[in-house]
Amino acid sequence: MATEHVGELLSGYLDGELTQQQRQRVTLHCSGCEQCRDDLAELRALRERISGAPLSELGEDQWRENMNDTTVQLSRGIGWLLFIAGLLVAGFYALYHLMIDSSMSFIEKFIIFGVYGGLAVLLFSVLRQRLIERKTDKYKDVEI
Amino acid sequence: MKTQDMREQLAQMGNGAHALATQILGNSEEAADAVQEAIAKVLGRPGSYDPKKGSLAPWFMRLVRNHCIDLLRRRRAEPLEADALPATGPGPEASAEAAQRDEAIRSALAALSPDRREIIVLRDYMDLSYAEIASVLDLAPGTVMSRLHRARMDLKETLTRYE
């Protein structure tokens, strides 16, 4: 008759995480201890119930679809980044040539700079506004 | 690791990660968002995972767990209630008895402390090894068995109140 229960070793036994010596100890103990045998059976049943319980309602396919969305968002973000970087480089390049161009008067340069500079500021302002609205719009996903 | 392989593994781990996040955050929708954000982080920087340091599952679960803890700190989430767990009722073909048993398990899990819920989900739902669980929960490998056993005994006792 076993006197000292094996306690947490039951969980290790159930999960196959014991050394050979510990396994033998549990096996030997359980052969003479009804309480530990019952505990082991109950823990095994509990583990099976949890492994089959619907703890998440989402399926693998849904995660695959979500990942595709993430990839699209990432590539779109990279695309925008490259586009803005290219636009900035082109803008500075044009500005540099405008400044060193000796065939134009200061007034002509100022007018050209004002028109294109103003357009760039307006474009930036509209884009910024759109971005803010997109982040804060609660109804953006609502389809009409 | 190839990105395509990583994506496939992440898709397979999605449900387990969602179950873990739900146990931490107490809300299925919030948990789905958290897992999605964690996946986006991994896919954004796939090189951040080093296969030499172990398999993807514990590394990803640790990432999800840390992200959920950050969210909890930021949002000061409400304590977990049974109603907050996913309402994943069985299909029409499932029996009412099975539905009651599932509900009992969810309610009993929700009644446990967060650290007990986590360790049970990691082992019994996700089938991670003790070494992997120790890595996810940042525990000494020797403490996993005792902590898991206490959690299971607690769950066993709690479950009797719901059945």
Please name the residue of chain A whose CA is at the shortest distance from the CA of residue B32.
Answer: A58
Does residue B68 sit in the same domain as residue B105?
no
On chain A, the residues whose CB falls within 8 A of the CB of B152 are 11, 43, 46-47
CB under 8 Å to B1, separation ≥6 — which residues?
B46, B49, B51, B56
Q: Indicate whether B85 belongs to any domain.
A: no
Closest residue, chain B, to A13 (C-alpha): B145
What is the CATH classification number for the domain harbouring B112? 1.10.10.10
Do B59 and B103 belong together in one domain?
no
User: Token pair of A109, please?
Assistant: 């340069």
In terms of domains, do B54 and B104 share one? no
Mean pLDDT by 10 residues, chain B (163 residues): 82 91 89 90 85 89 92 68 51 68 89 93 94 93 93 94 84
CA distance A61 to B14: 10
Structural domain range at position B107: 94-163
How much is the pLDDT for A142? 46
Nearest C-alpha neighbor of A36 from the set A57, A15, A9 = A9
Considering only CB atoms, which chain B residues are within 8 Å of A73? 40
B63 with B26, same domain: the answer is yes
pLDDT at B124: 94
Cβ neighbours of A51 in B, within 8 Å? 124-125, 127
Interfacial B residues in 50-79 facing A (CB < 8 Å): none
Q: Which of B52, B80, B108 is the last residue of a domain?
A: B80
Alpha helices (H) along A33-105: 34-51, 60-100
**Do the chains contact at B152 and A62, CB–CB below 8 Å?**
no
B27 touches chain A (CB under 8 A): no
B74 & B102 share domain: no
What's the burial of A32, exposed, middle or buried (CB within 10 Å: 0-12/13-18/19+)? exposed
B87 inside domain: no
Task: Confirm whether B131 is domain-assigned.
Answer: yes
Residue B15, domain CATH: 1.10.1740.10
B45 in the same domain as B99: no
Report whether B71 contacts B29 (CB < 8 A).
no
Query: How far from the centroid of its chain's Cα atoms is residue B163's Cα?
Result: 23
DSSP state letter for B79 = P
Chain B window 83-142: which residues touch A at a Cβ cutoff of 8 Å?
85-88, 90, 101-102, 105-106, 109, 120-121, 123-125, 127, 129-130
- Tally of structural domains, chain B: 2
- Quick one: pLDDT at residue A33? 92
* Closest CB from A54, A58, A71 relative to B102: A54
Q: Looking at the domain assignment, is residue B122 inside a domain?
A: yes
* Alpha carbon of B48: minimum distance to chain A alpha carbons (Å): 17
Together in a domain, B68 and B101: no
Chain B contact set for A5 (CB, 8 A): none
- Find chain A residues with C-beta within 8 A of B61's C-beta: none
Q: How far is it, in rounded angstroms, from Cα B72 to Cα B22?
A: 12
For each of chain A's 144 residues, which pLDDT tens digit applies?
Answer: 445 788 899 999 999 999 999 999 999 999 999 999 999 999 999 999 998 888 887 777 888 887 777 666 677 778 888 988 998 899 889 888 888 888 888 888 889 888 988 998 998 889 888 877 766 655 554 444
Q: Do B152 and A64 touch (CB under 8 A)?
A: no
Last residue of a domain, one of B57, B80, B103: B80
- pLDDT given for residue B8 in this prediction: 87
Euclidean distance between the first and final Cα of chain A, in Å? 74
B9 touches chain A (CB under 8 A): no
Residue of B nearest to A46 (CA): B156
Residues B99 and B48 in one domain: no
Q: Identify whether residues B133 and B68 lie together within a single domain.
A: no
Examine the domain organization and report whether B17 and B73 are in the same domain: yes
Per-residue pLDDT at A84: 87
First to last CA, chain B: 46
